[in-house]
Structure 1
Amino acid sequence: MAVWKRNLFVVWFGCFATTAGMSLVVPFLPLYIGELGVHNTAAVEQWSGVAFGATFLLAAIVAPVWGRMADTYGRKVMLLRASLGMAVIMTLMGFVQNVWELVGLRLLMGGVSGYISAAITLVATQAPKEKSGWAMGTLNTGTVGGSLLGPLFGGLLADALGLRHVFFVTGAFMFMAFVVTVLFVKESFVRPSAEELKNRPKLTRREVFARLSNPRTVWAMFVTTFMLQLAIMSINPIVTVYVQQLSPHSRHIALMAGAVVAAAGLANVLAAPTIGKLADKVGQQRVLVTCLAASAVVFVPQAFVQNAWELLVLRFVLGLFMAGLLPSVNSLVRRLVPDDIAGRMFGYNQSAQYLGNLCGPLLGGQLAAAFGISDVFFVTAALLFINAAWVWFNLGKQPLPQVPRLRHSHK
Structure 2
Amino acid sequence: MKNWKHVIYLVCAIQIGAGISMMGIMSFLPLFLSELGITDPGEAAFWAGIIIGVTPFMIAFSAPFWSIQADRRGPKTVMSIVLIAVVLSSFFSGITTAPWQLLLLRTLQGLVGGFVPIGLSIVVSVTPEEKTSWSMGYFQAAMVMGIMFGPLLGGAVADTFGYRMPFYAFSLLAFLCLIALQIFLPDIHRKGAAKETDSTWSQIKFFMKIPRVRIMTFMQFLCNFGITGIGPILPLYIKSMMGDSPIVATVVGFIIFISGGCSALASLNTGRITSRFVIHRVLITATIFVGFTFIMQYLMTTVAGLGFFRGITGLGMGFIAPCTNTIIAKSVPPEKRSIVFGVVSSVFLMGNVAGPVCSGAIANYFGYAMVFWSTAIAFFLAACVIIWNFRGEKEI
TM over 0.5: yes
Query: What does the per-residue CA deviation read over 1:244-278, in whole Å, with 9 as the maximum and x for residues that have no partner?
Result: 77788999766655544443222102221012332
2:124 is aligned to: 124
Would the alpha carbon gap of residues 264 and 351 (structure 1) be closer, same or farther in structure 2, given more than 3 Å must change? farther
**Most deviating of 151-160 and 114-123:** 151-160
2:315 is aligned to: 320
The residue type equivalent to 1:269 in the other structure is A
Please, which of 294, 313, 328 is the counterpart of residue 333 of structure 1?
328
1:153-168 paired onto structure 2 within 5 Å? 153-158=153-158, 166-168=166-168
**Most deviating of 9-18 and 231-240:** 231-240
CA distance in 1: counterparts of 2:207 and 2:362, whole angstroms: 39
1:139 is aligned to: 139
Would the alpha carbon gap of residues 2 and 190 (structure 1) be closer, same or farther in structure 2, given more than 3 Å must change? closer
Cα distance, 1:51 vs. partner?
Answer: 4.1
2:258 is aligned to: 263
1:74 is aligned to: 74
Q: Give me the TM-score of the superposition, normalised by structure 1.
A: 0.80
1:299 is aligned to: 294
CA distance in 1: counterparts of 2:60 and 2:122, whole angstroms: 19
1:7-406 paired onto structure 2 within 5 Å? 7-27=7-27, 29=29, 38-39=36-37, 41=39, 45=44, 50-94=50-94, 102-158=102-158, 166-190=166-190, 197=195, 201-203=197-199, 205-206=201-202, 208-210=204-206, 215-239=210-234, 257-352=252-347, 354-368=349-363, 373-396=368-391, 397=393, 399-400=395-396
CA distance in 2: counterparts of 1:48 and 1:372, whole angstroms: 15
Unaligned runs of 5+ in 1: 401-411
Q: Give me the TM-score of the superposition, normalised by structure 2.
A: 0.83
CA contact 1:12–1:139 (8 Å) conserved in 2 = yes
CA distance in 2: counterparts of 1:373 and 1:101, whole angstroms: 27
Query: What does the per-residue CA deviation read over 1:145-166, in whole Å, with 9 as the maximum and x for residues that have no partner?
Result: 2122213322333455666554
Cα distance, 1:26 vs. partner?
Answer: 4.0
The residue type equivalent to 1:325 in the other structure is I
**Most deviating of 311-320 and 372-381:** 372-381
CA contact 1:13–1:142 (8 Å) conserved in 2 = yes
CA distance in 2: counterparts of 1:107 and 1:51, whole angstroms: 8
Q: Secondary structure at the match of 1:282?
A: coil
Count of aligned pairs: 393
CA distance in 2: counterparts of 1:309 and 1:138, whole angstroms: 29
Look at both structures and tell me which one has the larger radius of gyration over its CA atoms.
Answer: 1
Would the alpha carbon gap of residues 248 and 106 (structure 1) be closer, same or farther in structure 2, given more than 3 Å must change? closer
Query: What does the per-residue CA deviation read over 1:2-54, in whole Å, with 9 as the maximum and x for residues that have no partner?
Result: 5221111111121112121112234555676677xx54646994765554443
Identity %, equivalent residues: 26
Cα distance, 1:237 vs. partner?
Answer: 4.2
CA distance in 2: counterparts of 1:377 and 1:270, whole angstroms: 24
Unaligned runs of 5+ in 2: none
Query: What does the per-residue CA deviation read over 1:280-337, in whole Å, with 9 as the maximum and x for residues that have no partner?
Result: 4434222212211222233333343354433332222221111100011111111112
